[in-house]
Structure formats: C-alpha cells, structure tokens
Amino acid sequence: MNPRRIWAVARKEFIHVFRDWRSLGMAIGIPVLLLTLFGYALTLDVDRVPLIVWDQSQTTTSRAFLEGFRASRYYSFRGSVDRYSAIEHSIDNGDAVLALIIPRDFAAQLDSGRSTAVQLIADGSDSNTATIAIGYAEMITHAYNQQILLEHLQRAGAQLPHAPLDVRARVWFNEDLESKNFIVPGLIAVIMSMIAAVLTSLTIAREWERGTMEQLISTPVKAPELIFGKMIPYFIIGMADMLLAMAMGAFLFHVPFRGSLTLLFGMAGIFLLGSLAQGMLISIVTKNQLIAGQLAIISTFLPAFLLSGFAFSISNMPTALQYLTYAVSARYFVTLIKAIYMKGAGLESLWIEAALLMVFCVILLSLAVLKFKKKLT
C-alpha cells in the first residue's frame, strides 16, 4: 500500500467530514446524548422502594420493628393504611410496591415468647424489584428476630451464645455497590460500536449515490488504500469520542478508573478498527446510505446492548444465545473495559479477550478489502 495515496483519500474524507456539519455533529453529539441519558436513566440499583404499613398492633414493640424499615435506605415510607382495600388501591396506582401488615397480637405474642406472623404483600409486576425488596425485608426481619432472642435470653439470665461463624464481607472493585460504576464503562463500548459503524456505513454508499465512485475507480488507488484512507478520519473521531466519554464518566458520573490508560486505548483502538471495518463492509455491500445506516444500527447497537454482557449477564441467557454472544465483538471489549476500569486488570489476565478482539478486527478488515471491487457493477 502506498502511504501517499492513503493520505490523499484520508484528506479528501477529512474535508468532507468538516464540511458536513451534520455528520460531525452526530459523531460528537450522539455519544454525549446517549451517555447522559443512559448514564442517569439506566440503573440496576434497587433502593427507596415505596412501602406502606398497616400497624394493627400500635404498640412500642411494633414500632420498634418498623423502625428497621424506616431507617433503611432501601425503603421509602409512604404512609399508613387501615384496611386491605387501601393496600390494593395503593399498589394498583403505583403508590407502593410493598405493604407490611402487623397483626393485633404482635406484641402480646412476642412478649409471651411465642412466634407471630407478619404479612408482606409485594407488587410482582416488576419481578426483579419485588424479589430484591423482599430479600431486604427478610434481612431486616432476621436482624429483629436475633434482637428479640437475645433480649429473652438476657431476661432469663442465660449466658449469651457466641456466634460460631463471624462473616465479614469485603467488597472489592465497587465498594459502594453502585451500578453506574459498571454501566458507564460498558456503555462506552456500546456507543463506540454503534457510532463507528454508522459513520463508515455511509462512506462508500455515499460515493455510489453521488456518482463520484467512478472517479475513484479511475484513479490508481487500490482497494485497501481506499478503505484504510476513508477509515482514518473516523478512527480519530472515534478515539476522540472515547476520550470524551471517559471524561464524562469521571467528572459527571464520578466513575473511578483503576487500570492502565495505555492498555485501555490500545484495546479501544483495536475494537474501533473492527467496528469501522464492519460499517465499511455494510456500505460496500448495500451501496445505499439509508439501508446502510439502518443495517449498521441493527447489527451493532442491538447486539452490543443485549448480547455483550453490558446490561444482562450472559450466564443467565438461554444456552443458544450464550453461544451466539461469541460472534459479538462487543462482548470481548465490554469484558476488557470493565476489567480495566474497575479492577485495574492487565493483559496477563485479559489476553484471551484481547486476542479474540484482534481476530474479529482482522476478519472484518479482510472481508471489507476482499468485498470491494474497483468495478462499476
């Protein structure tokens, strides 16, 4: 390949990019918009669950039990009710997700050393939220049970038992357990995949639609030189988007970065080349900007969002879909960027994903070069 011819094609594409303010605005504006929207809207944290209470006991014992729910950041107390119809109305209207019903003999049963039943009604429309909220309630109830047992033993003068196991949980890499710390890095991969493919999917198709492909074919520029020359401007734009997204993650969402910038940008460069080649391949095959743009979005954004492990755990998917994820290059980059961002992992533990990402990049680049023919038909 001749570097002068590659640069000539790149220079031509640079001029087009800077003259077409819509493409340049899309390249910069869409990542900012998507990262802002998804960064704030997409969260897997379950806290401040709306809770209503029907305290039929109205005793200091029942109020002490409820204090565990009031003090928890996982629940938002929305008031008291005095009948089941009010509970049904609140859940139907979405005013509450959980309803806690304490029986009249709650205090009397506990004071006498007997067990009592407390009813918890949950809105199962959102199964994930309901399951987690019920789990929180079970933990609060378990803690209250232990407190009551210890009080009974103290009143009886018995020696307090020692717990045989002392479990001390230590959270690594995401100490605050905030979902944004792993959503934002994965979102960067999704945005890069879509933007890169969409931008390059219009390049060759635009030449065919505007009738300038005949002029390019008549030049001594070879197919690899044309493809690499057209990719250079969008590679620079993509890396600029990567830097912008990282800045937004750090200053807007306060996502910590623990890894190597060199490794991250190296892996991002390989992934970006593969995504650009994918868009170029789509443009070569379709020769139509509208079709190419739509196909680029469908083939990049949806697989990267749904099948990369960004939003949904791959291990929880059906077996057939788990095998399908191996054909999605974003799967490997999402794994890489999350590990580098959150764990500070190095290439010694990520070499398999890095190698597979390189393989995808080489395959897509080769297909784009082989598919492009300097012919009018």
Q: For residue range 245-265, what is the model confidence (pLDDT) as tens digits? A: 899 988 988 888 888 999 999
Structural domains for the chain: 3-43+178-371 (no CATH), 49-155 (3.40.1710.10)
Partnered with residue 53 across adjacent β-strands are 80, 100
Residue 333: pLDDT band with limits 50, 70, 90: very high
% of the chain exceeding 70 in pLDDT: 97
Residue 209: pLDDT band with limits 50, 70, 90: confident
pTM: 0.79
Provide the 3-class DSSP secondary structure of residue 193.
helix
pLDDT of residue 163: 66
300-325: average pLDDT = 86
- Dihedrals phi, psi of 49, to nearest 5 degrees: -70, 125
CB atoms within 10 A of CB 67: 12
Lowest mean pLDDT segment, chosen from 10-24, 99-113, 152-166, 190-204: 152-166
Q: How confident is the prediction for the chain on average, in pLDDT?
A: 86
- Give the residue from 345, 377, 159 showing the smallest Cα distance to 267: 345
Cα angle at 43 between 194 and 256, to 5 degrees? 80
Lowest mean pLDDT segment, chosen from 296-305, 345-354, 361-370: 296-305
Most confident listed range (17-31, 37-51, 229-243, 283-297)? 229-243
Place of tokens 């717990």: 163
pLDDT surpasses 90 at 201:
no
pLDDT tens per residue, range 95-127: 899 999 999 998 888 877 788 889 999 998 888
Cα angle at 208 between 207 and 214, to 5 degrees? 85
CB 307 within 8 A of CB 324: yes
